[in-house]
Amino acid sequence: MTSHQPVTMTPRLERVFARGREFLGVEVPIMCGAMTWISESSLVSLMSNLGAFGCLAAGNMPPDEFAAEVERTQELTDRPFAANLITIAPNYMAHLEILCSAKLSHIVFAGSIPRRTEVEKAKASGAKVMCFASNPSIARRMIDYGADGLILEGSEAGGHIGHVSTAVLLQDVLFEFGPQVPIFVAGGIATGRMIGHLGLMGASGAQLGTRFVVADECSAHARFKEVFIKARSREAIATPQYSSKLPVVAVRALNNPAMDRFGKLQLELLGRLDAGELNRQDAQYEVEKYWVGSLREGAVDGNVERGSLMAGQSVGLVKRTQPLREILAELVTDADSALGEAEQRLQGQHATG
Ligand SMILES: Cc1cc2nc3c(=O)[nH]c(=O)nc-3n(C[C@H](O)[C@H](O)[C@H](O)COP(=O)(O)O)c2cc1C
């Protein structure tokens, strides 16, 4: 039987990640990023029960269903976890209300930029607020609005993405704003060694999505996981935007017919926009509706030909399915090895061979 004993860190990892541990209230400041259809109560609570940190995906769930999911997660764990709100989802305001009433310890705003009043409302409920920062100006604005922590997500990530890579954001968001607020780094991370080095750079922790999809306990369909195991990094491509008349947030996914169908949908919507048959906001809703439905087909139904296979470039580093505890333990062990190697290097003892 798989052990659900919490994972612990070594004293040197505890020192390097002290801020992230304190901020999240966990042993291991590794977050499983919210993933629509995938990050539900069982995965989220297991992540937290194992000493790390789970994020519930609100997506555009009917409010009653979302409230029930929050409650179920609270029943399954007494440890901290977050819920991730999509600010552009039609049910967003109802979701925010639910989280404030449920007195969640952490609320993550995703999708687009939340309003100042929304950040203030979340904080007034007692929650620590985390916002995504896909560039320095958004980071500055979110801190000004009162965000307690940031998630720096580079364009290598799976799902909806920004334009700038993790390597560049480390320099102009982590180095710049890290002294002000805890920053958790996401996008392209699948190994503990990387997490260890990010800690040395000043990250408070890391957020991973793609690597956790292949956890045995993750509810994603077996065929979806199988495709992840076989895929190479370069197959996780980002969608283009065809015209400034219809701004679309890029999505990174494995290349398959769902990507082609999205291209056709964009052209069709642009045609209808030109003909005055719908407005820009409605067209953008159509786009988001497409992705939610398409990801369901891939991740839940296992239709890997037709459905979306949202995945980050880190998919090439994902080699096998494993129990979640084993993944976390491996990440922690390897992060510690990275710190050990760095210590040796600082002492002039370069590893050879
Ligand atoms: C299948 C899938 C679905 C995702 N859905 C969401 C989502 O609903 N909300 C969100 O904020 N991020 C979403 N993400 C992004 C993850 O939370 C996380 O930030 C990202 O996967 C990190 O990069 P990585 O894939 O390189 O690990 C999704 C990612 C994947 C792979």
Condensed to tens digits (0 to 9), the pLDDT of residues 225-278 reads: 999 999 999 999 999 999 999 999 999 999 999 999 999 999 999 999 999 999
pLDDT digits (tens, 9 = 90+) for 30-70: 999 999 999 999 999 999 999 999 999 999 899 999 999 99
Cα distances from 277 to residues 158, 178, 211, 245, 283, in angstroms, run 32, 46, 42, 14, 10
Ligand 1: atom nearest CA of 212 is 27
Pocket of ligand 1, candidates 30, 31, 35: which has the most ligand atoms within 8 Å of its Cβ, to mutate? 35
Place of tokens 């860190």: 9
Contact by Cβ (8 Å): 192, 330? yes
Q: How far apart are CA 287 and CA 246, in angstroms?
A: 10
Nearest to residue 133, comparing CAs of 121, 118, 149, 117?
149
The verdict on the CB of residue 208 being under 6 Å from ligand 1 is yes
Q: What is the CATH number of domain 11-219+319-345?
A: 3.20.20.70
Phi, psi torsion values for 246, nearest 5 degrees: -130, 85
236-238 vs 159-160, strand pairing mode: unpaired
User: Domain locations in the chain?
Assistant: 11-219+319-345, 232-300
* Residue 352, pLDDT above cutoff 60: no
Q: Rounded to the nearest whole angstrom, what is the distance from the C-alpha of residue 33 to the centroid of ligand 1? A: 6
Both ends of the chain: CA-CA distance in Å?
A: 39
Consecutive H or E run containing 149: strand 149-153
Question: By alpha-carbon position, which residue is closest to atom 19 of ligand 1?
Answer: 33
Q: Rounded to the nearest whole angstrom, what is the distance from the C-alpha of residue 76 to the centroid of ligand 1? A: 23
Q: What is the pTM of this model?
A: 0.97
The verdict on the CB of residue 73 being under 6 Å from ligand 1 is no
